[in-house]
Amino acid sequence: MKENILVVCYSYSGKTRMIAEVIERQTGGTRSQIYPRQPYPADFEQLLSQVRMENRTGKYPALLPVTERADNYDIVFTGSPNWCGTIAPPLVAWLKENDMTGKILLPFFSHCGGEDKGMEQAIRTLCPAAKTGSSLYVSENGRENLQEMVRSWLKQNLPEI
């Protein structure tokens, strides 16, 4: 158990959570999941229009108070699905509530083949004073080598663990 490592993620349909679980196992960190207070709609079109509206207006969802805060950790992994080319609003909301100054921040993303049109940039803009490492991108369709992908990404970013 590494007490200074937090693995936090938002996951709508479980793919990002699977990555978080592998990171949790390989690092011995604490895993915590972000939940919006009001669950997102199950209908895709409704979901899409809500996400677009939240991104456009900057009105991010209120969160359930079950997620760990970053305060007690030195290394924070943050995970999100790629939603419309950027990070999902619940992760934005969590990052706005947590001071990442001086922390090592390692972003990971699940996607279905789309490019990063702003995910990494969103993290850097929200957390300008964090020491942000390289991001891990995992396609939802190619997860047979997930363990190995995570292992080599960890080796690059945190060679000491």
Ligand X SMILES: Cc1cc2nc3c(=O)[nH]c(=O)nc-3n(C[C@H](O)[C@H](O)[C@H](O)COP(=O)(O)O)c2cc1C
List interacting residues with ligand X (CB under 6 A): 11-17, 47-48, 51, 81-85, 110-114, 140
* Helix, coil or strand: residue 112: coil
Question: How near is the Cβ of 102 to ligand X at its closest, in Å?
Answer: 28
Nearer to ligand X, 73 or 108 (CB): 108
Nearer to ligand X, 2 or 47 (CB): 47
Nearer to ligand X, 20 or 76 (CB): 20
Question: How near is the Cβ of 131 to ligand X at its closest, in Å?
Answer: 25
Q: Are 41 and 50 in contact (CB under 8 A)?
A: yes
**What letters, b where the CB count within 10 A reaches 16 and e where it falls short, cover 6-24?**
bbbbbbbeebbbbbbbbbb
For residue 121, how many other CB atoms are within 10 A of its CB? 12
Amino acid in position 63: L
Question: How near is the Cβ of 4 to ligand X at its closest, in Å?
Answer: 25
